Structure 1
Amino acid sequence: MPSVLVVDDEDQIRQLIRETMEQAGYEVQEARDGKEGLERYRAKPADLVIMDILMPDQDGLESIMTLRREFPASKVIAITGGSDMIGILNFLDVAKMLGARRTLQKPFEMKTLLEAAAAELSA
């Protein structure tokens, strides 16, 4: 059974993703921010990480950078509801540059997330 780590500070979003992924046959761990997510990944690496970008304490961009540096083969899907820009790039563009393999803008359909997860895990 493939494992997924869901890192998002919004309880409802995290729970919805967890339930969706579990119904699809994935084993799911959760974390409320990037720092907790990295601790959980280091303790028990997941096959796929679904990482929110805008979070308190340690944001998703910093977490993706650290995760990919420590675990170059890690697979990350970055998600965000924020549309802020860093210069001329939006957060999802930056996440891809830092190592996220796919990105999704919230709100997205759970079907879209499941398709992205399946594609990443088969890659």
Structure 2
Amino acid sequence: MKILVIDDDAAVRKFISMILQRKKHTVIEADNGKSGLLLLQENPDVSVMITDLIMPEKEGIETIIEVRQHYPSIKIVAISGGGKVSPENYLVIADALGANTTLKKPFSGQELMHAIENL
């Protein structure tokens, strides 16, 4: 399965990518929603997108809205550690806008794989 990981924190992207690659998934990475959407245009075979919600240039909420409009079949996992409000508030919004599942940071590799397997 090809999975797009979008997070502005390089360490988080690498952690997620490492877990997914161990399970033989193909992973592409972006550091914000804007570059993530460009990668989706170049990779029409992406089946899952994992996106952080609080990022520079284009936040995850905006990214989810655009993906739902242009790529409705992609499964979306929204992740957040929060910001000015608790991560749960952001994750509820992401869920309402079309995320298939959500994860609160920090999460374990096992929690990530469980979320992916349940999509």
Give secondary structure in 1 for the equivalent of 2:74.
Answer: coil
TM-score (norm 1): 0.90
The answer to whether 1:78 aligns with 2:68 is: no
Alignment map for 1:6-25 (pairs within 5 Å) = 6-25=5-24
**2:95 corresponding residue in structure 1:** 96
Do the aligned residues in 1 keep the contact of 2:5 with 2:28 (CA within 8 Å)?
yes
Q: Which amino acid aligns with 1:48?
A: V
Which residues of 2 match residues 27-106 of structure 1 at below 5 A? 27-45=26-44, 46-82=46-82, 84-85=84-85, 90-106=89-105
Counterpart AA for 2:93: V
One-letter amino acid of the counterpart of residue 33, structure 1: N
User: Does the 8 Å CA contact 2:76/2:99 hold for their aligned counterparts?
Assistant: yes
**One-letter amino acid of the structure 1 residue matched with residue 91 of structure 2:** L
Residue 49 of structure 2 aligns with an amino acid whose one-letter code is V
Aligned length: 117
Gaps of 5+ in 2: none
Structure 1 residues 51-90: Cα deviation after superposition (integer angstroms, max 9, x where no partner): 000000000000000010111111100000015449xx81
| Runs of 4+, deviation exceeding 3 Å | 83-86
Q: Which residues of structure 1 form unaligned runs of 5+?
A: none
Q: Deviations over 1:18-58 (max 9, x none)?
A: 01100011000000000000110111031100000000000
Matched position secondary structure for 2:118: helix
What is the CA distance between 1:118 and its match in structure 2?
1.3
Asked whether the 8 Å contact 1:84–1:91 carries over to 2, the reply is no
TM-score (norm 2): 0.93
